[in-house]
């Protein structure tokens, strides 16, 4: 037991010195669990997050926007894949991870349990949801678990166009007809608060967060990230003439930051617990695609086996 303690101690020193932990290195079991939980949650978010945006690919209003949106959602699939791969380095299979998602044992970002009801939602999601995600992901490029950090570096490079495409959609709508501008404002009204909630509970209500920070898995607190996001986003809204739906939003000269209103935490926890408008739909869709693909996966595996056997035979 004494030795265990000292290993943990040295592990702590090691990560504090900004060293990366690699898959086969010794790590506290709790660290392993935390990294698996966080990475898989992140992977599931990328994958489930495809659904609300894929919802508009076939209805994109121009060929250009159709291509961009499709490329964007495809990127998210890639991100999911990078992250599943990074998680698998810790000895858990993708099958197990998917099983945890489908049985509700693993969570994904609650933001994707809201519906995308108009085209402007493609703008708002790209601008705000990807924007909030980037805030988090830039921080995670320096996370202590090596494969996670490397996946995040790749992801961040690709993310840069996501927020811009969303903002461009908003910009065009805001400068468009009266109906288009109203569509943009309506989307901002709906997506603003859920986007702020993406950063998670406030620091006083986020016990796991402190340990994650200590292990250098997380580098900034929820509230810090949220504040950074607000400060960045408010001027962007002003620039295109849209109004952030928060009467308490006010520049604080002393803090050189925006003060903003309180979030509806009841709603937040309700959605986390599965009571968002789309929780059920998202998982049902995921299960459906997975089950309908079962025979395809089996066939591909069976064919690969046959081919291998044939190769062996012709070599013999």
Distance CA 270, CA 105 (A): 16
Size of the site for other proteins (CB under 8 A): 73
Q: Between 254 and 292, whose beta carbon lies closer to other proteins?
A: 292
Q: Between 57 and 270, whose beta carbon lies closer to other proteins?
A: 57
Q: Is 77 in the site for other proteins (CB under 8 A)?
A: yes
Instruction: Give the contact letters, 135-154, x = binds to other proteins (CB under 8 A), - = no.
Output: ---------------xx--x
Give residues 100-129 in contact with other proteins (rule: CB under 8 A).
Answer: 119
Give residues 184-203 in contact with other proteins (rule: CB under 8 A).
Answer: none
- Applying CB under 8 A, the span of 133-141, 196-204, 244-252, 283-291 interacting with other proteins comes to 283-291
Name which of other proteins, Fe ion, none residue 79 binds, using a CB cut-off of 5 to 8 Å depending on partner kind. Fe ion
Among 25, 255, 274, 275, binds other proteins (CB under 8 A): 25
Q: Is 73 in the site for other proteins (CB under 8 A)?
A: yes
Question: Residue 301 Cβ, how far from Fe ion at the closest point, in Å?
Answer: 29
Cβ 128 vs Cβ 232: under 8 Å:
no
Per the listing, tokens 């970002």 go with 109
Question: Residue 28 Cβ, how far from other proteins at the closest point, in Å?
Answer: 11
Helix axes 294-315, 279-292, angle to 10 degrees: 30
């Amino acid at each position: 037991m004494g030795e265990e303690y000292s290993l943990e101690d040295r592990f702590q020193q090691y990560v504090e010195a900004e060293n990366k932990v690699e898959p086969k290195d010794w790590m506290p079991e709790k660290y392993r669990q935390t990294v698996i939980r966080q990475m898989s949650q992140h992977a599931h978010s990328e994958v489930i997050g495809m659904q609300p945006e894929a919802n508009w690919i076939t209805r994109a209003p121009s060929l250009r926007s159709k291509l961009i949106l499709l490329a964007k959602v495809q990127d998210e699939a890639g991100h999911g894949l990078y992250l599943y791969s990074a998680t698998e380095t810790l000895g858990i299979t993708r099958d197990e991870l998917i099983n945890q998602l489908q049985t509700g044992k693993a969570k994904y970002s609650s933001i994707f349990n809201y519906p995308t009801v108009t085209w402007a939602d493609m703008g708002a999601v790209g601008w705000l949801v990807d924007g909030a995600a980037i805030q988090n992901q830039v921080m995670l490029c320096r996370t202590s678990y090596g494969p996670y950090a490397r996946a995040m570096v790749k992801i961040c490079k690709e993310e840069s166009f996501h927020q811009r495409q969303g903002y461009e959609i908003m910009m065009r709508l805001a400068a468009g007809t009266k109906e288009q501008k109203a569509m943009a404002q309506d989307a901002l009204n709906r997506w603003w608060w859920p986007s702020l909630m993406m950063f998670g509970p406030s620091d006083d209500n986020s016990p796991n967060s402190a340990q994650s920070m200590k292990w250098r898995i997380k580098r900034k607190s929820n509230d810090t990230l949220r504040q950074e996001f607000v400060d960045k986003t408010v001027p962007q809204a002003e620039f295109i003439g849209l109004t952030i739906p928060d009467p308490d939003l006010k520049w604080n000269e002393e803090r050189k930051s925006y003060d903003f209103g309180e979030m509806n935490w009841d709603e937040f926890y309700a959605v986390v617990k599965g009571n968002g408008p789309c929780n059920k739909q998202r998982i049902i869709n995921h299960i459906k695609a997975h089950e309908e693909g079962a025979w395809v996966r089996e066939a591909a595996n069976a064919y690969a086996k046959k081919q291998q056997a044939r190769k062996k035979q012709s070599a013999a």
